[in-house]
Homo-oligomer: A and B are copies of this chain.
Amino acid sequence: MTQDENDIILLAHGSGGKLSHELVENRFLPFLSNPVLAKLDDSAVFEVGGRIAFTTDSYVVNPLFFPGGDIGKLAVCGTVNDLSMSGAVPLYMSLALIIEEGLPMKELEQVLQSIKATADETGTQIITGDTKVVSHGQADKLFINTAGIGIVPDDINVSGAGARIGDKIILSGTIGDHGIAIMSLREGLKFSVPVESDCQPLNKLVQQMLEVSSTIRCLRDPTRGGLATTLNEIATQSQKGIFINEAAVPVKEAVRAACELLGLDPLYIANEGKLVAVVESSEADKILASMKRNLCGKDAAIIGEITAEHAGKTIMKTRLGSSRMLDMLSGDLLPRIC
- A residues lining the B interface (CB < 8 Å): 10-12, 14-21, 39-60, 62, 81-83, 85-86, 88, 92, 94-98, 127-130, 132-135, 137-140, 143, 145, 147-150, 152, 159-161, 220-221, 223-225, 229, 233, 237, 268, 270, 327-333, 335-336
Residue of B nearest to A148 (CB): B43
In the bound complex, residues from chain B placing their C-beta under 8 Å from that of A86 are 41-43, 45
Consensus secondary structure, chain A interface:
mixed
Question: What is the minimal beta-carbon distance from A21 to any residue of chain B, in angstroms?
Answer: 7
Which of B52, B85, B138 is the one whose CB lies under 8 Å from A140?
B138
Question: What is the minimal beta-carbon distance from A133 to any residue of chain B, in angstroms?
Answer: 7
In the bound complex, residues from chain B placing their C-beta under 8 Å from that of A268 are 17
C-alpha gap A82/B103 in the complex (Å)? 28
The 11 sampled A-B contact pairs (Cβ below 8 Å) are A12-B330, A16-B229, A20-B225, A43-B83, A46-B52, A58-B132, A58-B145, A60-B98, A96-B145, A133-B332, A138-B336
In the bound complex, residues from chain B placing their C-beta under 8 Å from that of A129 are 56
Tell me if A41 and B130 are in contact (CB < 8 A): no
A12 and B331 in contact, given A50-B49, A130-B56, A132-B58 (Cβ under 8 angstroms): yes
C-alpha gap A140/B143 in the complex (Å)? 12
In the bound complex, residues from chain B placing their C-beta under 8 Å from that of A39 are 159-161, 237
Which of B16, B49, B54 is the one whose CB lies under 8 Å from A94?
B54
Nearest 8 CB-CB pairs, A to B? A16-B224, A17-B329, A16-B225, A147-B147, A56-B94, A49-B49, A15-B332, A43-B55
In the bound complex, residues from chain B placing their C-beta under 8 Å from that of A140 are 134, 138-139
Tell me if A128 and B54 are in contact (CB < 8 A): yes
